[in-house]
Amino acid sequence: MKSIITKIITITALALSMNVSAASAIDALSIELIKATLTPEQIQQSLNQWKENELKQIESRAQNISDRAPIEARRQLVKSQVEQEYKQTAKALGL
């Protein structure tokens, strides 16, 4: 069950991170399905787990960004992106 919840949250976060303001009907339905199927606690737990996993990958994601910027700046950029995706997803899911 946790695996399914995590996958649902991850897919939603990915879809939302692509373009929150222009969410398609499918994205809206996915969000409504998640809200109807899971408790707020389950959603929060899965979202926190997603964020934790993303933050563990900061180094590898930072390495994929142009090496013209200092590594610390790239790490900060990745961390900011994860935080933004987390906040947008939490807001969309009503948390």
Which residue's entry shows tokens 């897919």?
11
* Number of H-type helices and E-type strands within the chain: 5, 0
Domain positions in the chain are 2-92
For every one of its 95 residues, what pLDDT tens digit does the chain have, with 9 covering 90 and above? 556 666 666 666 655 555 554 456 666 777 778 888 888 888 888 888 888 888 888 888 888 887 788 888 888 888 888 899 889 888 888 88
Which residue's entry shows tokens 């996958």?
7
Q: Residues near 11 by Cβ (< 8 Å), separated by ≥ 6?
A: 30
Taken as a whole, the chain contains a residue count of: 95
CA dihedral 26, 61, 5, 45 (to 10 degrees): -120
CA dihedral 25, 22, 88, 53 (to 10 degrees): 70
